[in-house]
Homo-oligomer: A and B are copies of this chain.
Amino acid sequence: METKPHPPCPYPDVPSAEKHAHNFKRVRDAHRREIVEDYVEMIAELARVQDDVRTSHLAERFGVSNATVTNRVQRLVGDGLIEDAPYQPLVLTEKGRTIAQESRRRHVLVRDFLIALGVDPDIAEADTEGIEHHVSEETLAAFARFVDRGSAATETTAI
């Protein structure tokens, strides 16, 4: 006989100081990456549904001023994620497209997971905008398993 598989979650209430510090540093790192990820993802998404992507489009989408977008974009140009060209439409570099793709993958997966869990799609989309930057690959894999399981069940039931 084995010991019981899962006595109700005996995770300690207070992690060690080292783990705590490490976790909070990870959050701060995620926050530093957040703007980069949101910007390249947004540029890639808008490029799919309209001909030009302009700083003014991003300003409208993010709900910030044009000047703010120009400043952020200049940093992304410096990081080699956007092509440089003043007064011109925004175009992602190869590197930018790669990050956009990874970001988009996470975004869609988190959102679809929440929807599969029963969350209203609009609320799922809203929550995802923040959550997406804080999910590890491991958690993302668990989300994917859940979504797959659900759709497999649907197919099975649908026969």
Contacts and interface: CB of A to CB of B under 8 A. Distances in A.
Stoichiometry, copies per complex: 2
A139 interface: yes
A17 B60 contact: yes
Nearest to A26: B126
Nearest to A147: B9
Interface in A1-54: 4-6, 8-9, 11, 13-15, 17, 19-27, 30-31, 38, 45-46, 48-49
Interface residue range, chain A:
35 or more
Contacts of A8: 151
Contact of A21 (B19, B48, B62, B143): B62
Contacts of A27: 129-130
Interface of A: 4-6, 8-9, 11, 13-15, 17, 19-27, 30-31, 38, 45-46, 48-49, 60-64, 111-112, 114-127, 129-131, 133-136, 138-139, 142-143, 145-146, 151, 154, 158
30 contacts: A4-B158, A6-B154, A8-B151, A9-B112, A9-B121, A11-B124, A13-B45, A13-B49, A14-B45, A14-B48, A14-B49, A17-B60, A19-B122, A20-B61, A21-B61, A24-B61, A24-B62, A24-B129, A25-B63, A26-B126, A26-B130, A27-B130, A114-B142, A117-B146, A123-B138, A123-B139, A127-B134, A127-B136, A131-B131, A131-B134
